[in-house]
Amino acid sequence: MQLVKEKYLNAYLEYFDRDKKQFTFYRVIYGCVLFFIFATGVLLMQEYLWFLVTLVAFFIGYKMPYWSLVSSKKKSDLTVSFLFPQFLQSFMALLQSSGNIYQTLKVTTDYINDPLKSELEKLVNNIEEGNHRDDYMAFANFIGTNEAYMIMDMIYQFSEFGVKKEAINELESYVQSLQENKVNELIERKMLSVEKYGYTPIFISLFLVGSFAVAIFMYYMQDVMDALTGIV
């Protein structure tokens, strides 16, 4: 239903820094292209009742860029969810030698990839202007998980009240657990992906066998029909 109502269209466009007018223009182009393809087919077949299908074709073409946008957002969210534990491991390792939250976050940007890197650089720039909890929470909001809010709040507390050994040990334990969960999730996704691709040759084989069976059936049925015609 969300794909039909497009409730989060503006949020997605803002996330990917896309202009709404330009995006709408591309949507209309996609819709018109599919419309004219189907309309040409209907004219060639001279089945004019099928013109109703051209309206469906326009709707599908109009929706395709939005569906692509949603797919890209889901892929980005998945990537960020796996980058976050990597960021935390690098941060914790560097914090041991630095002890300074700002300097550690700044150096950590060299060890992670986009799209998380650009967001972390934004956090570092904001901290340079003033150490505010809202900036840490904005970074957590970009990650979009409950764990991120809790961990970034702890990091903010470290920046304000100093790094305590007990709190660091607790955070390290939690980060290790989070990393293990993400590794297990990645393994499960890989297994499901392999299993999904494993069905493809099975379906192809069934299709070929079924097509061969239908061809054989039609061949013998033609002989039967010819025999019946001769009798009549």
Distance CA 181, CA 187 (A): 10
Read off the pLDDT of residues 176-212 as tens digits, 9 standing for 90 and up.
Answer: 777 777 666 665 655 555 445 455 556 555 655 665 5
pLDDT band at 127 (very low <50, low <70, confident <90, very high): very high
- Residue pair 178/88 in contact (Cβ under 8 Å)? The answer is yes
Read off the pLDDT of residues 57-73 as tens digits, 9 standing for 90 and up.
Answer: 888 889 888 988 888 88
The string over 61-95, giving b where at least 16 C-beta atoms fall within 10 Å of a residue's C-beta and e elsewhere, is: bbbbbbeebbeeeeebeeebbebbbbbbbbbbebb
3-class DSSP state for residue 28? helix
Read off the pLDDT of residues 45-103 as tens digits, 9 standing for 90 and up.
Answer: 776 666 777 888 888 889 888 988 888 888 888 888 888 888 888 888 888 777 789 99
- Residue pair 39/13 in contact (Cβ under 8 Å)? The answer is no
At position 15, the amino acid (one-letter code) is Y
Of 107, 99, 116, 91, nearest to 158 by C-alpha is 99
Give the residue extent of every domain in the chain.
2-74, 79-187
**Burial class (CB within 10 angstroms; exposed 0-12, middle 13-18, buried 19+) of 129:** exposed
The string over 217-229, giving b where at least 16 C-beta atoms fall within 10 Å of a residue's C-beta and e elsewhere, is: eeeeeeeeeeeee
**What pTM was estimated for this model as a whole?**
0.63
Read off the pLDDT of residues 10-49 as tens digits, 9 standing for 90 and up.
Answer: 888 887 888 999 999 999 998 998 888 888 877 777 766 6
Show Cβ contacts of residue 223 under 8 Å, excluding neighbours closer than 6 positions.
none
